[in-house]
Amino acid sequence: MNANYPKAYKKGLQNFYGRDFVVNRDVLIPRPETEMAIDMVLNLVGKPYLPGVKPSKAVLDKNLIIADVGTGSGCIGITLKLELTKAKVIATDISKRALDVAKKNAEKFNAKIEFLQSNLLDEIDSQIDLVVANLPYVDKEWEWLDEAFLSYEPNIALYAENHGLKLIYELIDQTSSRKIKYLILEADPCQHQQIIDYAKKRGYIFGDVRGFILYLYLE
């Protein structure tokens, strides 16, 4: 086997937020930068996420309804359900194979989550308080892109058109037309200003940024 073949696929496991998630080549290997999305949500709910770090004043109730869009291995949605047991979590992915892996993980951790095969939020009828999404945002034209490094992961999990922003923009269109108040998005930091500008035109206010994670909300 090629020396560059990811260890996570060899082992069939990747740690995310302290838990070993099952992974295979149908899903993106969960990344450490995505863990900050969990901290960001816990902070919004007023739950301490690091010993000694006081969360900000809660803006969201613990009974909130969360949509994890582009769930992949399920790492975000499942972690949120385990950390916020009163929350309802709906996880979507366009890939049935990815959803099969996410369902395995939900079973492994006994996390009660609703899974839907869906383009973005299309198949979700219920009201949503918060959308968390790590959608594909890699632009094939980035000169710093190491395609060999990414070559083992599914293209559908990595690349997006319009300089990597197509799906994120479509999601913002959907959340704004459904008046979904809270939005947590992962993107490369070089894309953040464009996303903030796009979202601002649709009523969203910039809330916070941590590494790759952006927080936006509707007034």
Ligand X SMILES: C[S@@+](CC[C@H](N)C(=O)[O-])C[C@H]1O[C@@H](n2cnc3c(N)ncnc32)[C@H](O)[C@@H]1O
Q: Which residues bind ligand X (CB under 6 A)?
A: 27-28, 30, 34, 69-73, 75-76, 92-95, 98, 119-120, 134-136, 156-157, 167
CB of 39 to ligand X, least distance (A): 14
Smallest gap from residue 219 Cβ to ligand X (A): 27
The least distance separating ligand X from the CB of residue 63, rounded to whole angstroms, comes to 23
CB of 160 to ligand X, least distance (A): 8
CB of 64 or CB of 184, closer to ligand X = 184
Q: How far is the CB of 138 from ligand X (least distance, A)?
A: 8
Partners of 215 in the β-ladder: 184, 208
Q: What residues contact 4, with CB distance under 8 A and at least 6 apart?
A: 148, 149, 152
**Residue with Cβ nearer ligand X (64 or 160):** 160
In the bound state with ligand X, the residue whose beta carbon lies nearer, of 21 and 204, is 21
Nearer to ligand X, 120 or 199 (CB): 120
Cα–Cα distance, 159 to 43 (Å, whole number) = 30
Q: What is the spatial distance between Cα 171 and Cα 33, in angstroms, rounded to a whole number? A: 21
Which residue's CB is nearer to ligand X, number 43 or number 73?
73
CB of 133 to ligand X, least distance (A): 8
Nearer to ligand X, 45 or 120 (CB): 120
Q: Are 73 and 30 in contact (CB under 8 A)?
A: yes
